[in-house]
Amino acid sequence: MSVFRGAGVAIATPMHEDLSVNYQEFGRLIDYQIEKGTDAIIVCGTTGESATLTESEHVEVIRYCVKHVNHRVPVIAGAGSNATDTAVWLSKEAEEIGADAVLSVTPYYNKATQGGLAAHFTAIAEAVSIPVILYNVPSRTGCNILPETAVSLCRDVKNIVGIKDATGNLAQTSSMMALAARSGVDLELYSGEDGLIVPILSLGGQGVISVLSNVAPKQTHDICAKFFAGETAEACRLQLEALPLVDALFSEVNPIPVKRALSLLGFQTDAIRLPLTRLEKKHEEQLMQAMKEYGIL
């Protein structure tokens, strides 16, 4: 059984102007997501500014999310690090708090060989009993999980169940899923690219871990739901309709645009921690136009 099926939101972390976490607004954002049909909450990922949360903040944000969601949908906790010991500790904390699964990014900056990646993720998975979803985002980390490594980890480590694929490389994704099929390995595939939800689903994907879902939760859910219902033409239409907004949400590095977009929808999300800065005017104009054309502003 998949950790979740459909559209999971890589949720932003609202902050006060003094850059402390705004838990009251975070609760409001969680409720909004669930009310609009989001299928899972992914907390403390890239969009949640995990890179600039302290370790204690990271744990407390996960704790708050798990408690506030209260089993309404699955909660997947971002618990990755470029230090294996830290990733193990965060994953154990997430499990103790009550997260349904962890999302574990490839080591960044120091990177790793494929053998190092296998050892890193195995150590994390063996430290917990909840499912582990690998997160492959080479543009961020400079480190790529090759198909053979992903498939062997899902085959050999019982609670490594799948991968969030943000490579943007459909040829690599196809090779990975073909190898999994030939090897008899059940690999849960989630798109990490909002512009490629339907293509990833067509390769056997279970859904998306989405930035777009922050501002268009129902629409992102519907892309997946229509595809799973066999309405592939409608899913494709919805995917293509969302592309201008997706482009605007990535006009600057994530989560700069999406935090501004949420602010335009009435959430208190303008505050963002350095080295990220607020959205530039030309990109804000692009974002507002895209939101208006998409019918959410």
For 207-238, write each residue's pLDDT tens digit: 999 999 999 999 999 999 999 999 999 999 99
Mean pLDDT score, 166-179: 98
pLDDT at residue 230, as a whole number = 98
Percent of residues, the chain, with pLDDT higher than 70:
100
> Is residue 1 scored above 90 in pLDDT?
no
Question: Domain tally for the chain?
Answer: 1
- The pLDDT score that the predictor gives to residue 2 is 87
At residue 60, what is the residue type?
Answer: E
Q: Cα angle at 9 between 239 and 218, to 5 degrees?
A: 50
Per-residue pLDDT for 245 more than 80? yes
Over the stretch 67-113, which tens digit does the pLDDT of each residue have? Answer: 999 999 999 999 999 999 999 999 999 999 999 999 999 999 999 99
Is 164 catalytic? The answer is yes
Handedness of CA 252, 142, 53, 164 (dihedral sign): positive
- The whole-chain average pLDDT of the chain stands at 98
Single out the catalytic residue among 111, 158, 164, 259: 164
pTM assigned to the model: 0.97
Q: Please indicate, yes or no, if residue 237 is contained in any of the structural domains.
A: no
For residue 275, CA distances in Å to 26, 218, 270, 287 come to 22, 31, 14, 21
- In whole angstroms, what is the distance from residue 91 CA to residue 97 CA? 10
Q: How far apart are CA 207 and CA 124, in angstroms?
A: 24
Please indicate, yes or no, if residue 275 is contained in any of the structural domains: no
Q: Which residues contact 240 (CB under 8 A, 6 or more apart)?
A: none
In a domain, 83, yes or no: yes
pLDDT of residue 253: 98
Catalytic residue list contains 135? yes
Q: What single letter denotes the amino acid at residue 58?
A: H
Judge whether 269 lies within some domain: no
**CATH number of the structural domain spanning residue 54:** 3.20.20.70
What separation in angstroms does the CA of 211 have from each of 85, 182, 193, 250, 260?
28, 32, 8, 9, 13
- Distance, in Å, from the CA atom of 247 to the CA atom of 166, rounded to the nearest integer, reads 15
User: Which residues have a Cβ under 8 Å from the Cβ of 167 and sit 6 or more positions away?
Assistant: 136, 137, 138, 144, 173, 192
Active-site entry in 32, 108, 135, 218 = 135
* Cα 48-254-43 angle, rounded to 5 deg: 20
- Domain extent at residue 161: 6-229
143/138 Cα distance (integer angstroms): 5
Residue 260 belongs to a domain: no
Distance between CA atoms of residues 138 and 235, nearest Å: 27
* pLDDT score at 191: 98
Domain annotation covers residue 170: yes
Dig out the tokens for 65 from the structure. Answer: 């999310």
Average pLDDT on 3-17 reads: 98
Does residue 41 belong to any structural domain of this protein?
yes
Task: Give the residue from 266, 258, 256 showing the smallest Cα distance to 290.
Answer: 258
Residue at 255 is within a domain: no
